[in-house]
Structure formats: C-alpha cells, structure tokens
Amino acid sequence: MSDYHPPTDLEEVVNSEVKEWHFHIYFHQRNADQHQAALELRDAVLRLRRDGTFVAVPLFRVNTDPIGPHPVGKCLSYPSCLERNHLQVGPRFIRDLGTFDLVSSVFSFLCMNRGNLSILIHPLTREARKDHELRNAWIGPPFPLDLSALPVKTEELPVQYPSLKLGYSAPEPEFTLDQRRRIGANLERILKGEKEAARAPMN
C-alpha cells in the first residue's frame, strides 16, 4: 500500500494553489535562426497580450547568455497569472472570466507555436529549487539546469507585477469555498450522463 496521500481538503488545496507561473523559452544563443524564432515568438506574445488573448508579461530584456539556473539564452521569463476574476479596462471592470483560463491559454499558444524551441514551465512559490527541479514541465526537449543558483526556500512569495492585481496580488479569490462546492456538485450531476467519466468517491 502506498504512503502517498495527496491532499483532498478543499480549503487546504485552494490555499496552496499556485497562482503565478513562469514560461522560459530557450534558444541556443549562437544559433541565429533559433534566436530570431524566439524573438518572433516573444513579439507574438506581446501582441496577443495587447489584444486581450491572455495576461503574460515578458521580461524587458532578452537573456542571450546563460543566467541563474538556465544553461542557454532565454527569450521569455514571464508570469502568467492563474487568477482571472478581474481585468481592469479603462474605468470599468470585466467580470465573469471564469471560463477564461489564462495559464492554459498561454500554454496552448506556446505548445502550438514553439517551432523547434524548448519551453520550461514552472510555478512561482517560496521553493524555487523544487519549482525548477520537481514541479516543472517542458514543451519540447528538456535542458539540464544548474539548480545550485536557486534558494531552497524563501520567506517572501515571488510576487511579480502587483499593479495587475492578479495572481498572488489579487484582492480576493475568484470563488468562495461554498461557490466551489456548488460548482463541484453541479459538475458531478452533469457528468452522471457521461459513460466514460469516473465518479468521485462518496467520502
């Protein structure tokens, strides 16, 4: 019998949810074609952010040499925020973006348009080394990382771009625990008619 028991308490899981992610687009810095492809992908992300496709904030600079744990040049190091309850547009707020998952939108775009570039995805938490080593995902072939440059644990959350009021800087959660429970119960009712959908345990 396994000793591994992932948490299933709603409040515990919601409170520990990752709210910001980094996507690093790698390119071999001496490969002019890859460098250009990475810059074009970065510019596409910026245009799509401008047009409201997703919230992704590329760093102002492009690292053309290894830096930190990253073994090659990288074009993007930006957070995509999981929280999606408010986006400020002029004097109004756009509410009800619950079906608009910003992380999956960024992931989808990069997955479909990366060409031959590799992309490291990792959460932003207080445990940067675990985030890069154990909690990461790759689109394309992985690169070895130098984890010695990363702290094991920090006291502060790695909040980025707090002026957006998204992710860890969001003023309120997207849904209350009671709202989540109602959403879950409704989802279970809907899935009763789906033969291939697994049923949730009763306890």
Nearest of 13, 135, 85, 189 to residue 200 by alpha carbon: 189
CA–CA gap between residue 49 and residue 43 (Å, rounded): 10
Q: Which amino acid is at 16?
A: S
- What pLDDT is recorded for position 128? 94
Token pair in block for residue 165: 């009021």
Alpha carbons within 13 angstroms on the beta-carbon side of residue 144 total 2
Q: Are 112 and 145 in contact (CB under 8 A)?
A: no
Q: Which backbone phi and psi does 126 adopt, to 5 degrees?
A: -75, -10
pLDDT of residue 112: 98
pLDDT at position 93, please?
A: 27
Q: Residue 72 corresponds to which amino acid?
A: V
Low-confidence ranges of the chain (pLDDT < 70): 67-68, 70-101
Q: Which CATH architecture has domain 17-174?
A: 2-Layer Sandwich (3.30)
pLDDT in the model for residue 74: 57
Beta strands in 57-106, from DSSP E residues, in sequence order: 73-81, 87-89, 92-94
DSSP label at 27? E
CA dihedral 93, 95, 97, 98 (to 10 degrees): 150
* Residue 86 three-state SS: coil
